[in-house]
Chains A and B, each alone.
Chain A
């Protein structure tokens, strides 16, 4: 890259021949173009460096140190990772909870989004109203939606258990029972499936009609048309939804944090809803990001929290890679035209 284009151009201000004169002009245009790109890209160059590049490198560095924000970081080698893999009594619980949540919530999200999209695509009347109703919960702010669910699933007087009681069923304790707190959170997630549903609906409506017609002529029933026409056609969108929702699942924090805090506060009537209640009841809602938050920002073990975040990065990357590579087997690719 030339550093001083102006001086360079001045040196050949008296062109000897037209052929020679064109080159500096071209070079100057190229330089101006590069400057333009740099100028347009500058917000992102700064943003990426300061908010992604620097913290990524620092995370890796801090993960090998002991750091409490007060004194400067002290190098301790791989001690954080050894504690993370061998000694931390809570990490395994948090990993299991997160994997449980992803394994249950993601298939349910895809199933519900697909089912609702199919029904909407077949509906003759009221499509607009139905679509709005299914989309609205996705809009509800997570904190507000969580508070609503904690009330609705209130064991003694919540509407769901009251209605179940009328049916003669004894409702579970939901957010107060370690076996039911995660299912309750999954219900909240499925309720907010609207975004995925909208994308599925667009994909289902995009399937060419003639494919269905020729399948019908070949004697395919409703289910084989679904299996052999609809599913392959929308498989790229399913892949997108799976990857997106798995990534969301790895970051699952807000709902778990708020639900545990509010439910625990309700149980103890204590005014303080903080670290003590993370994971309530009995660590059943202690997801990996919640534990990371606890170590980093209530205990201020910055080095250890960095080690946790590095592990999260590696795992997110690996899972995404596995899904995408695996997808070649089941995602239908249209023949190149």
Chain B
């Protein structure tokens, strides 16, 4: 092999000037396009930030740059609306849902990935179908069910289903569990470890990146979720989450645009900060769902 490649490497010369110039121009064009697109993608964030620092009169004028810069808008948001309460409700929803989702999805994904049993393929197919199903399809009977349990108006109807396995998380974890070498599991079995302990210790430890990705996606999903909280807590502002509160922010208090944009930025901030803290888990999770799936 090396005997063949060596002469080829010798033959490869510097490309002629015309080719090099063409390549250079292509690279310049490519980078200019990239920069233009990047500016367009960043612009909404910048306009939101600039408006959140304006006075109300300025936000209603055609000026684009804040003058003077009003940092106190970010303080005023908290006095105009029960922002802390919304944040606490969101946190309650996120944390309770995520913990339940991880604890219930890991064993299911393990059974689907590493144990052989009759009906396994069918069960996995059902998970995939549940994954594709629009939530609107099941929402009416579920609403009736929660209404009969007198839980409409609280966050429980959006939290509890997560404690019984989530199709997307099961799917993602299964894809990862498939890649764990059998030797690790066999070693544990030889040491007298039961399957339950294998799931609880060996698998959980080996699958840390996948579990982190699942927890991250769950946090994001719950943080962004709007439809279900609107459905179940829309009539009860006491239990509103951030997304719901933000959507009603303007109309509730006749609040000005500058404060609305400050609130918008405050709702975006946790997600963006989290992204920079956990970039690797993100990228791994996205590729795990898309490419290998």
Contacts and interface: CB of A to CB of B under 8 A. Distances in A.
Interface string B24-43: 00110011011001100111
A133 B41 CA distance: 7
Contacts of A186: none
B136 A289 contact: yes
B64 interface: yes
B227 A148 contact: no
A55 B132 CA distance: 15
Contacts of B279: 132
A34 interface: yes
A220 interface: no
Interface residues of B, number: 93
Given A37-B117, A141-B243, A195-B286, A312 B261 contact: no
Interface stretch (B73-81, B108-116, B178-186, B205-213): B108-116
Contacts of B251: 261-262, 265, 270-273
Interface string A264-293: 011001111100000000000000010011
Interface string B271-293: 11001000100010011001101
A41 B108 contact: yes
B132 A316 contact: yes
A56 B229 CA distance: 21
A119 B51 CA distance: 32
A37 B291 CA distance: 29
Interface stretch (A14-22, A103-111, A224-232, A251-259): A251-259
A142 B161 CA distance: 22
B224 A141 contact: yes
B140 interface: yes
Nearest to A142: B224
B180 to A, nearest CB: 16
Contacts of B142: 51, 55
B16 interface: no
Contact of B264 (A147, A199, A247): A147
A244 to B, nearest CB: 9
A272 B293 CA distance: 45
A75 B260 CA distance: 47
A166 B47 CA distance: 17
B41 A141 contact: no
A69 interface: yes
Interface of B is mostly: helix
Interface string B213-252: 0000000100110110011000000000011101111111
Contact of A123 (B34, B107, B265): B34
B192 interface: no
A69 to B, nearest CB: 6
Nearest to A193: B41
Contact of A297 (B143, B164, B166): B143
Contact of B227 (A135, A191, A253, A309): A253
Contacts of B139: 55, 296, 309
Interface stretch (A42-50, A172-180, A329-337): A42-50
A302 interface: yes
B108 A40 contact: yes
A123 B31 contact: yes
Given A33-B117, A133-B42, A191-B41, A62 B141 contact: yes
Nearest to B101: A43
A74 to B, nearest CB: 14
A119 B27 CA distance: 10
A292 B108 CA distance: 33
Q: Which 4 A-B pairs have the closest CB atoms?
A: A47-B164, A58-B141, A199-B290, A43-B104
Given A41-B111, A136-B42, A144-B264, 15 more contacts: A44-B108, A59-B140, A139-B220, A140-B271, A141-B223, A143-B246, A147-B246, A149-B44, A157-B61, A198-B287, A199-B290, A203-B291, A237-B290, A257-B226, A309-B139
12 contacts: A54-B141, A62-B140, A122-B27, A134-B38, A135-B275, A143-B224, A149-B44, A152-B48, A195-B286, A199-B290, A296-B139, A320-B132
Interface of B: 26-27, 30-31, 33-34, 37-38, 41-45, 47-48, 51, 59-62, 64, 104-105, 107-108, 110-112, 115, 117, 123, 126-127, 130, 132-145, 147, 161, 163-166, 170, 195-196, 199, 220, 223-224, 226-227, 230-231, 242-244, 246-252, 254, 257, 260-261, 264-265, 267-268, 271-272, 275, 279, 283, 286-287, 290-291, 293
